[in-house]
């Protein structure tokens, strides 16, 4: 799917006109390419805590060009703002004003990343206020940035160290092009567990993954990215999608499983296929999903029930089978596809939004049950993604929807796939129960 407007405002005469009359000027995003530098320039670390010093050492060990100050006019590829020990709102001003002073020096495709502590813990009101204040400030920075730059945060649990494995994994993800369409979001690291992969180029090496709804769109891209990252992939789709599914698996050397996720024994089929072919199952991505849009006043039982059955009830049933099975790894990862419609609601989508909000609830509750295990479950909520589905939208609606995010463009299936792949790594062990939006900071409100 091509965004013609994006191409036009980045070349030729419209480039100048767009600037002069203040039209949106989306730019091509910095996306991950194996072998390319993690960040497009020096990384400035702000903050005066021991955590800031520790984090600067971590970044140095990754061979990044780390600075504690920038010279005037010197450009930065990223600014990491460490605020892990703030005690009151007054502690915010020095660091945020320092950040403001260098924002104009951020390169296109640059990153602003805050590292702070959870505002959910039972701590003093002034501490919670200051911690929560970071969310408002950071999300506003994300709306002020241009040139494809993004701002996101990593939030540490009360006892999690700045140097924890999942904090480092989240930082790598957010600094790199893998997070191109993640903007204005916070990744919470609740525990210190997890292990670093032998190679960050293939963090899923040796893992077996299942992706449902894999014959096309976002699912097919998830298959490709998981395989690129080293996983052996089993691609699941309905029998009618046979040929397309074969093309997808042939592209990555995976195997196909023709199954309807709503079948009562879908979980057992998946477990058996993985155990027989590969001897284990480590990652399950619940991507299969359908829409049957109608205003609620015109909704019928068929539309309502089929959407709930595919998008939510199948996941609950498959998870039950997975979590009861010794064939699903002790450090297994489940990633579910939600949607921003499940967060904000959407006209004509009561059934779909119920199913996707249900996924968010399911993930939260299942994560609580998995708390003391090595398994995790998370959701990814895409916003406007350029797929066959969104290509069918009426022209004007599609154009408006594309520009309604801070990045002023739709995301690509690969953006969703990169986020799924990150949550599926062993290093993301400390991240569970969350819904991470991949929406370019879409402006849809709750």
Nearer to ligand NAD, 156 or 338 (CB): 338
The active-site residue out of 5, 32, 181, 352 is: 352
Task: Indicate which single residue of 95, 152, 179, 212 sits in contact with ligand NAD (rule: CB under 6 A).
Answer: 212
Cβ at position 39, least distance to ligand NAD in Å: 28
Nearer to ligand NAD, 230 or 440 (CB): 440
- Range in contact with ligand NAD (rule: CB under 6 A) among 73-81, 103-111, 207-215, 248-256: 207-215
Known catalytic membership, residue 352: yes
Task: Indicate which single residue of 154, 180, 187, 241 sits in contact with ligand NAD (rule: CB under 6 A).
Answer: 241
Task: Indicate which single residue of 153, 203, 217, 440 sits in contact with ligand NAD (rule: CB under 6 A).
Answer: 217
Nearer to ligand NAD, 58 or 390 (CB): 390
- Is residue 77 a contact point for ligand NAD (CB under 6 A)? no
- Is residue 310 a contact point for ligand NAD (CB under 6 A)? yes
Nearer to ligand NAD, 49 or 255 (CB): 255
Cβ at position 240, least distance to ligand NAD in Å: 7
Nearer to ligand NAD, 289 or 430 (CB): 289
Cβ at position 279, least distance to ligand NAD in Å: 24
Cβ at position 143, least distance to ligand NAD in Å: 21
Terminal C-alpha separation, the chain = 28
- Range in contact with ligand NAD (rule: CB under 6 A) among 158-166, 288-296, 394-402, 418-426: 288-296
Q: At what angle do helices 266-278 and 314-323 cross, to 10 degrees?
A: 50
- Is residue 420 a contact point for ligand NAD (CB under 6 A)? no
Cβ at position 333, least distance to ligand NAD in Å: 17
Nearer to ligand NAD, 102 or 310 (CB): 310
Q: Which residue has the tokens 């400390």?
A: 430
Binding site for ligand NAD (CB under 6 A): 212-213, 215-219, 237-238, 241, 260-262, 287-290, 310, 337, 339, 382, 384-385, 387-390
Q: Active-site residue numbers?
A: 352
């Amino acid at each position: 799917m091509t965004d013609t407007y994006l191409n036009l405002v980045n070349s030729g005469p419209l480039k100048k006109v767009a600037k002069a009359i203040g039209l949106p000027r989306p730019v091509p995003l910095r996306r991950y390419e194996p072998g390319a530098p993690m960040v497009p320039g020096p990384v400035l670390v702000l903050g005066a805590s021991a955590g800031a010093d520790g984090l600067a050492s971590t970044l140095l060990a990754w061979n990044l060009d780390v600075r504690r100050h920038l010279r005037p006019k010197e450009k930065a590829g990223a600014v990491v703002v460490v605020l892990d020990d703030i005690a009151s709102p007054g502690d915010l001003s020095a660091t945020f004003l320092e950040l403001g002073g260098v924002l104009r020096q951020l390169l296109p495709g640059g990153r602003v990343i805050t590292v702070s502590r959870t505002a959910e813990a039972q701590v003093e009101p002034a501490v919670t206020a200051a911690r929560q204040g970071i969310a408002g400030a950071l999300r506003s920075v994300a709306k002020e940035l241009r040139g494809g730059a993004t701002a996101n945060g990593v939030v540490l649990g009360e006892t999690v160290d700045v140097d924890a494995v999942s904090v480092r994994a989240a930082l790598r993800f957010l600094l790199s092009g893998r997070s191109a369409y993640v903007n204005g979001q916070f990744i919470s690291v609740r525990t210190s567990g997890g292990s670093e992969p032998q190679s960050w180029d293939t963090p899923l090496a040796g893992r077996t993954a299942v992706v449902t709804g894999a014959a096309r769109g976002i699912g097919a891209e998830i298959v490709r990215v998981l395989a690129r990252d080293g996983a052996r992939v089993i691609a699941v789709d309905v029998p009618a999608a046979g040929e397309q599914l074969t093309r997808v698996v042939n592209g990555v050397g995976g195997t196909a499983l023709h199954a309807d996720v709503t079948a009562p024994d879908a979980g057992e089929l998946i477990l058996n296929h993985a155990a027989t072919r590969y001897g284990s199952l480590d990652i399950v991505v619940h991507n299969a999903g359908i829409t049957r849009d109608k205003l609620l006043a015109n909704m019928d039982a068929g539309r309502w029930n089929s959407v709930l059955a595919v998008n939510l009830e199948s996941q609950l049933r498959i998870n039950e089978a997975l979590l009861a099975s010794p064939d699903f790894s002790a450090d297994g990862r489940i990633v579910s596809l939600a949607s921003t419609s499940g967060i904000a609601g959407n006209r004509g989508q009561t059934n779909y939004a119920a199913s996707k909000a249900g996924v968010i609830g399911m993930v939260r509750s299942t994560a609580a049950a998995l708390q003391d295990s090595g398994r995790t479950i998370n959701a990814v909520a895409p916003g406007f993604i350029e797929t066959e589905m969104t290509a069918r939208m009426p022209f004007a609606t599609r154009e408006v929807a594309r520009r309604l995010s801070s990045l002023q463009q739709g995301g690509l299936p690969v953006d969703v796939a990169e986020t799924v792949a990150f949550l599926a790594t062993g290093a993301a062990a400390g991240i569970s129960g969350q819904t991470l939006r991949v929406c370019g900071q879409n402006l849809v409100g709750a």
